[in-house]
Chain A
Amino acid sequence: MTISRREWLWLAGACGATHLWARQGVSTPPEPLFAEVPASASGIEWVHDNAMSANHYLPETLGPGCAFLDFDNDGWMDIFLVNSGPSDFWKPPKPVRNALYKNNRDGTFTDVTEKAGVAGASFGMGVAVGDYENDGWPDIFVTAYGKCTLYKNNQDGTFTDVTEKAGVATPGWTTSAVWFDYDNDGLLDLFVCSFVDYSGEHKFECGDNRIGKKYYCIPRVFRPTASFLYHNNGDGTFTEVSKGTDIAKALGKGLGVVATDINNDGRMDMFVANDTVQNFLFVNRGPGPNRRWKWEEIALQAGVGFSESGQARSGMGVDASDLDNDGWQDMLVANVDHEMFSVYENNKDETFRDVAQANEVAQATRLLSGWGLKYFDYDNDGAVDLILANGHPDDMINEYSMQVKYKEPLLLFHQGDDHRLHNVSDQAGPAFKRFFPARGLAVGDYDNDGALDVLIGNNGGAPLLLSNHAGKGNNWLGLRLEGVHCNRDGVGAKICWTAGGKKRYRLKNNGGSYLSSHDPREVLGIGSALKIDELEIQWPGPGKQIDKLTNLPINRYVHVMEGKGILR
């Protein structure tokens, strides 16, 4: 029997602790993989207001998103939380606002929302963070039912709403969004998922009026819409460029999006999770003869559009990563209960196969509805793991289901030596034994210990901050990438590192999860290895610079600039 380092550490820790308890007669449990950080400790007192009403308007049940970002460039991850707000079906009886929490570098946060000017004034949904001006300061795009908002970072702790001026005032109901450079011109472009057409003056309601109860409509009943792609003009403005492409033709009900490169051609593609209609896989085919960018929607033929029964499912959360470390991006989509989630393994020919069964994900998610999620290496052993945040969209589901509940558990999967994901939720800590109406999920290292922490937005409740204790004992290197010719965030960079005789691959995707945005840094786990033998970064276009780095430190973050290497 082989025991992974993580398992060994767990067992060793548990045995040691048991020995200690025996001596001291104290029954202190071992440290969980993830520990909940209560509001009393973090200072995050903000609570999401879902505007829940007797009429059960659909936007009530979809939020909120959340983000880790370093808005003040002090090297510590801050937190942004999206709230609902005034809309055509709801007038808040008391002020409702987003929240920006500054990291105090001691495990606590301070609410700086008002000063920053990011409180918002519409029914917010999600958030996407990116430095669209390449000025080194992250900007914030907030999606909404109603008016979405682009907050430009003023580099002084404040933001300015530049939505109209920038030309990204997206109509309708927007959900997830992602910054990425689709044309490799060195500027981040913006893709915005559009959900259903909910524009009726009198909102369509669903429910059994005989018993006087209304419930949230299944999105199937509403008209689908096309999503939006904004090209960055490089002057602080954008041009919507989806017209005439497959993006405009593909009428969906987008909830999640990840920008990734599924065919290793150096161009970022997009996988969009749609609710009750087929998912979309937009493959970036580069410039067309008519100077219009060519996007080809290939989800059906790629095997990721429908279930294996040929049915469209309720896609919500989505992500991509090189799960099996073969240099090709694999994908993941979360669906509603009884549909099971799909883990898509890349066949390296623009097709995928669903390996959720072999990875314990299908069985574990059969009765769950998944939203926020993330492939990440939570214990820094170098292999990609997975976290899922779940919750049923129908707040009355408990009344007619014996097993499916409104609040659902989080799930944590660890990739074992067999290269399969294994459900380790039982060992993950008390938070994984609780139930949440979870929606957005962001991953980030807020305490800079190299172990990626997790932030979850709960519908109609307080957010959940989970501190990662699982990475202790393993070594790592954190990269803060800075593009020079490519986009400054380095989105699209390919990272390859060798440590302990193992070669690992990472593509700096963007987006992923649901309504949320992650720590932009990349943490490279190397397990018990004491050094990284070689690190190669292939920066995206236009330069496509390849940097090879050696003599690297471990267990700290380094700032790597395109063509310059590590900045000391």
Chain B
Amino acid sequence: MSIYERLHLRADAARLPCRRVRSGAPQGNGTIKRVALAAWGPVMDMWRAIFLIVSLGILTLDAIAQTPQELVQDAISKQQAGDLEGAVREYRQFLKMHPEAAGVRSNLGAALAGLGQFAEAITEYKVALKQAPATPGLRLNLALAYYKTGRISDAAAKLVKVHEDSPENNQAILLLGDCYLRMGQNKDVIRLLRPEHQKNPDDMAIVYLLGTALIRDHQVDEGQALVDRILRNGESAEARFMLGSAKMEASDFAGAREELAKAIALNPNLPGVHVLYAQTLQITAGPEEAQKEFKAELAIDSYNYMANLQMGAMLRQDQKFDEAKQYLTRALETRPGDFAVRYQLAAIALSEGKVDEARSELESIVKESPQFTEAHVSLSLAYFRLKRPGDGNREKSIVEKLTAEAQAKQPGVKAQ
């Protein structure tokens, strides 16, 4: 199994259906013994097992009446058999009677996640976590749901807590490292994973994440040494991905494109690889080529934030507004409140003549993100179109101020 697949499997775990297995040590009333994951892979998802054990322990302690218990048993059976819709229906039926059953709610969350209904899964996990806050597995599950919906900062926040509570939880460490990497917090990746690398120098997932962070943090020599370690283990998609990322960081777009093409040839399912490749193609080729790759990423992960955002932005530029809105709406689902997505939607509204709708959204955006120059530009334009020159000129002044500030930071200016 590849390094990234290990990471991705963990991220997928929340979606996997449960399977009932027999354990030698009966628990509770002995009816439900133990629930585990169907797909363990070489890396044991211990957190998941722990979580489910804990969950069901809570379930047992709830002293459910015979009929409700059978309902839960049936729901679990359905979940294990892949009938997730049926499981969700029965879990919900049960929770109407016993809304306090945090374990069952967690199972409901897992089933919803398995159906790709991450927003609803997150809602259930959050309620369950409120009911049973001491459950580390539950928090990890919530973090995974956030991760899968592209809400990386929310995932990271939960993983930090998991890591604090369970410093030896390797899965949490790796996922947290990956979240930091995705958020561009390279120094945090290094801080988190350097000691882990010393403890587990042969863990290629750690090598991969740490090496990538080091390269992106311009600590190229140390990062390159880790890349070399991966390369010594043979040609791998992850290594090419890392090299591609590093070259992208260095603005060597042609080099990045070459590495990422190789990564895709080695493993077209490597998460994120099509997005980065598409971004190199946006610069070095044309929009058609880039869109093809963004779509390839979305075929793997329909909630990929960047792929949805970029597709939406490109289609908006082509004035294909309806199609663009579909992608942007999906991007907003993964990152609710995201400025970039909301701005794209506001810009579409402005182009479509829905000026007041655009104004409202843009006002909200600039309030939350006062340095967002493009939003000030569009808001100024919206005010002028609404015959509010005073407000338009105020925003225009802000644009000029922000532009001047950005200009002052330019290297050519400083050099003079």
Contacts and interface: CB of A to CB of B under 8 A. Distances in A.
B127 to A, nearest CB: 39
B286 A366 contact: yes
B412 A310 contact: no
B416 A200 contact: yes
Interface string A298-330: 001101011011111000000000000000000
Given A220-B410, A223-B407, A357-B319, A208 B351 contact: no
Nearest to B413: A223
Given A221-B412, A340-B317, A400-B254, A311 B374 contact: yes
Interface in A356-389: 357, 362, 366-367
Given A300-B381, A309-B317, A310-B347, A208 B250 contact: yes
Contact of A199 (B281, B283, B404, B416): B416
Contact of B283 (A197, A309, A401): A401
B254 A310 contact: no
B375 interface: yes
Contacts of B375: 310
Contact of B384 (A301, A338, A357): A301
A277 interface: yes
B252 interface: yes
B416 A223 contact: yes
Interface core residue of A251, A401, A404 (most chain B CB under 10 Å): A401
Contacts of B378: 310
B219 interface: no
Contact of B403 (A208, A221, A277, A366): A277
Contacts of A306: 374, 377
Interface residues of A, number: 39
A204 B412 CA distance: 6
A179 to B, nearest CB: 29
A208 B251 contact: yes
B392 interface: yes
B285 interface: yes
Contacts of A74: none
A400 B252 contact: yes
Interface string A422-452: 0000000000000000000000000000000
B267 interface: no
Nearest to B378: A310
A514 B253 CA distance: 30
A338 B290 CA distance: 12
Contacts of B251: 208
A402 B285 contact: yes
A214 to B, nearest CB: 13
Given A301-B380, A366-B286, A402-B285, A197 B416 contact: yes
Contact of B284 (A200, A217, A401): A401
- Majority secondary structure, B binding face: helix
Contact of B287 (A220, A224, A303, A366): A366
A403 B284 contact: yes
B396 A300 contact: yes
Q: Which of A208, A217, A306 has the most CB of B within 10 A?
A: A306
A399 interface: yes
B415 interface: yes
Interface residues of B, number: 47
Main secondary structure of the interface of A (DSSP, over half): loop
Contact of B410 (A222, A278, A351, A357): A222
Nearest to B253: A400
A357 B318 contact: yes
Nearest to B282: A338
Nearest to A350: B384
A301 B392 contact: yes
Given A223-B407, A311-B374, A403-B284, A300 B413 contact: no
Contacts of A338: 282-283
A196 B415 CA distance: 14
Interface string A395-407: 0000111111000
Given A204-B412, A366-B287, A367-B286, A308 B351 contact: yes
Contact of A399 (B254, B316, B384, B399): B254
Given A303-B381, A308-B347, A310-B377, A403 B286 contact: yes
Contacts of A400: 252-255, 283-284
A312 B381 CA distance: 14
A308 B351 CA distance: 8
A400 B250 CA distance: 13
A310 B411 contact: no
A159 B150 CA distance: 68
Interface in B69-120: none
A434 to B, nearest CB: 21
21 contacts: A204-B411, A208-B250, A222-B410, A223-B412, A224-B407, A251-B404, A301-B380, A301-B381, A306-B374, A309-B347, A310-B375, A310-B376, A310-B378, A310-B381, A340-B317, A357-B319, A367-B286, A402-B289, A403-B284, A403-B285, A404-B284
Q: 9 tightest CB-CB pairs across the interface, nearest first?
A: A310-B374, A221-B412, A310-B377, A400-B254, A301-B384, A222-B412, A204-B415, A204-B412, A200-B416
Interface of A: 196-197, 199-200, 202, 204, 208, 217, 220-224, 251, 277-278, 300-301, 303, 305-306, 308-312, 338, 340, 351, 357, 362, 366-367, 399-404
